[in-house]
Structure 1
Amino acid sequence: MAQKYDGLSHCKLVLAFAVLMDLLGVALLLLGVFATLEVNGRDFGDLFVYTGALLVLFSLAGWVLWYSGNIEGLTSAKELGGTVGGAVDRIARSLSRRIRINRTHSSPT
């Protein structure tokens, strides 16, 4: 049976963040480049250019998070069926249990 593709259903908040940072960053960048932004003889164009560039950089992080959250078709550990993955999972679980047990017994009450 074919899988149903949900489009943009995963990570909608991160997508909105990335798009908002892109729009705001480009708007501030263009405003800083093309508008005359002087107050009391001081030019604030550079501030807008740098702030816009910084927001576009933040949006890049949002796009990476959104893209990695929407990767489809990764095989699960059960589908791989290898014993190496199962052994690593068992070791990680046992170490996690030991750490958790040691912390609960050694914590002051």
Structure 2
Amino acid sequence: CVCSDGLTHCKFALVFAVAMDLLGVISMLLGVFASLEFEGQDFGDLLVYSGALLVLFSMGGWVIWYSGNIQGLTTTKKLGGTAFDRLARNLSRRIRMPRSQSSP
């Protein structure tokens, strides 16, 4: 996730999700409304199914973008939790931290 300061974090995930949604919807609409026959075989179903898969695949981008934009989380000092909780917080921080700050 390429994160940066500003209004939206993880801009790469946002662009990925929107692009996959657009490609998926266009593919589905072409499959439904365009008559796509090649050598007597109809390829409309293939476009509908592949478009649905692209839209489903974009959900990963939306989840990453949304989770990267969550603000106001409590610091580690205030949170105790289990070892799994600490591991999840550390992983989340590494994903959100810009690359220039991640190396010691």
Same fold (TM over 0.5): yes
RMSD of the TM alignment (CA)?
2.1
Structure number with higher relative contact order (C-alpha < 8 Å, ≥ 6 residues apart): 2
Deviation at 1:87, TM superposition (A): 8.9
The residue type equivalent to 2:42 in the other structure is D
Identity percentage over the alignment?
A: 65
Specify whether residues 75 and 49 from structure 1 end up closer, same or farther in structure 2 by C-alpha distance, changes over 3 A only.
same
1:59-98 mapped onto 2 (5 Å cutoff) = 59-78=58-77, 80=78, 85=80
Specify whether residues 23 and 87 from structure 1 end up closer, same or farther in structure 2 by C-alpha distance, changes over 3 A only.
closer
Deviation at 1:7, TM superposition (A): 1.1
1:1-109 mapped onto 2 (5 Å cutoff) = 6-8=6-8, 10-78=9-77, 80=78, 85=80
Q: Going by fraction, where is helix more abundant, 1 or 2?
A: 1
Is there any run of 5+ residues in structure 2 with no aligned partner, and where? Answer: 88-104
Deviation at 1:86, TM superposition (A): 8.5
Is there any run of 5+ residues in structure 1 with no aligned partner, and where? Answer: 93-109
Paired residues, what number? 80
Specify whether residues 41 and 58 from structure 1 end up closer, same or farther in structure 2 by C-alpha distance, changes over 3 A only.
same
- Distance, in Å, in 2 between the alignment partners of 1:19 and 1:43 is 28
